[in-house]
Amino acid sequence: MTGHYRSPERLLADLGIADPADIDLDAIAFDCGALVVRDTLRGCEARLLGAGSQAFITVNAAANPRRQRFSIGHELGHWMHDRGAASFRCTKRDFIRNWDQVSPEQRANRYAADLLLPKSMFLPRVRQQPMTLTTASDLADLFVTSLTSTAIHLIEYGSFPAMVVLVGPNGIRWRKRGPDVPPQIWLRERTTSDSVAFDLLRGGTAPGPTDVSAGAWIEGADRFVICEDSRRVTEEDVLTILWWKDEAQLLALGESSEDT
C-alpha cells in the first residue's frame, strides 16, 4: 500500500472510535481528505472525484441513511485503494453483487464493511447468535448498515458454520463460506425447487428460517438437512443464509464430498 493508505481499523483507532454509535462517516471521510456532499444523482448511488490529496464524495440524497453510509464507506475504499484513478461512479448493484471476484468494486465493498462493522465491535455482539437474516437485520439496525454486508460479517465471525449466498434468476451470483465450512463443500450453480430461494424468485413469500433438504443446494446431499433463511433484496436478487444447526451433519457431508 502507498503512504496515504489507512486500514479501517487504523482509521477508527486514530479517531478514538470504540462504539458503533460513534462511527460518523462524514467525519471519517473529512479526516481522510474527502468532503461528503449529498445531491441528486441519476444512474448511480455514489461517485468519487479526487485530485492530489483531496476528494469529493457525492452520495444520492434520496437514498436511505444505511445506503448513504455504505456508499461513503465504499467510496472511501476507492480513495484508499485506487487513488490516482480519475473517478468512480458506483451503483446499487455494485454494492450488492460485487463481493466475490477481486476487483476495485469488491475491494471497496470490503473496505466499507470493515469500516462500518469493525471486528472489535462486531465479534462480541455476534457470539452464540443464531445464523439467520433476523440476526443480521438486528445487527444491521445497531450498526446502521446494509443487510448484505452484515450477513457476510455474520457468517465470517459468528459462532456456527454457515454460508451466505446471493441468488439471481440465472443461478448463484456469489457465495461466501464461514471459516468452519469445509472447502470441499460446493453449492450447485442453480438451486432446486426444494429451496426457499427458488420460490422467492418466482414471487413467493419469505417464511423465515426453514429446514430444507441440503440437496436443494448441494449435489448429492439429499440425506442431509440445512436451515435456509432467504429474503429478496432486489427485484432480481435473493439473499440467503445457509446454517448447519447440526454440525455432525456438516462433518458427514464434508466427508462424503471428499469421497466423490
> CA 237, CA 19: separation in Å to the nearest integer?
32
Q: What's residue 92's pLDDT?
A: 64
Q: Give the CATH number for residue 99.
A: 1.10.10
131 shares a domain with 226:
yes
Q: Where are the beta strands (DSSP E) in the chain?
A: 34-39, 46-51, 54-60, 87-90, 162-168, 171-177, 210-213, 225-232, 238-243
Which ranges of the chain have pLDDT less than 50? none
156 shares a domain with 83:
no
Between CA 250 and CA 256, with CA 254 as vertex, the angle to 5 degrees is 115
158 shares a domain with 125:
yes
> CA 29, CA 185: separation in Å to the nearest integer?
40
Last residue of a domain, one of 85, 116, 147: 116
> CA 143, CA 13: separation in Å to the nearest integer?
17
244 shares a domain with 165:
yes
Last residue of a domain, one of 116, 140, 173: 116
Q: 210-213 and 225-232: which strand pairing?
A: antiparallel
137 shares a domain with 249:
yes
pTM of the model: 0.85
112 in any annotated domain:
yes
91 shares a domain with 31:
yes
3 in any annotated domain:
no
Residue-wise pLDDT tens digits, 35-92: 999 999 888 888 898 888 899 999 999 988 998 999 999 999 999 988 766 566 776 6
Q: What's residue 125's pLDDT?
A: 96
> CA 228, CA 28: separation in Å to the nearest integer?
37
Helix 147-157 crosses helix 119-126 at what angle (to 10 degrees)?
70
Is 256 strand, coil or helix? helix
Residue 103 structural domain: 8-116
Number of domains present in the structure of the chain:
2
DSSP letters spanning 88-154? EEE-HHHHHH-SSS-SHHHHHHHHHHHHHS-HHHHHHHHTT--SSHHHHHHHHHHHT--HHHHHHHH
Q: What's residue 82's pLDDT?
A: 80
Q: What's residue 233's pLDDT?
A: 92
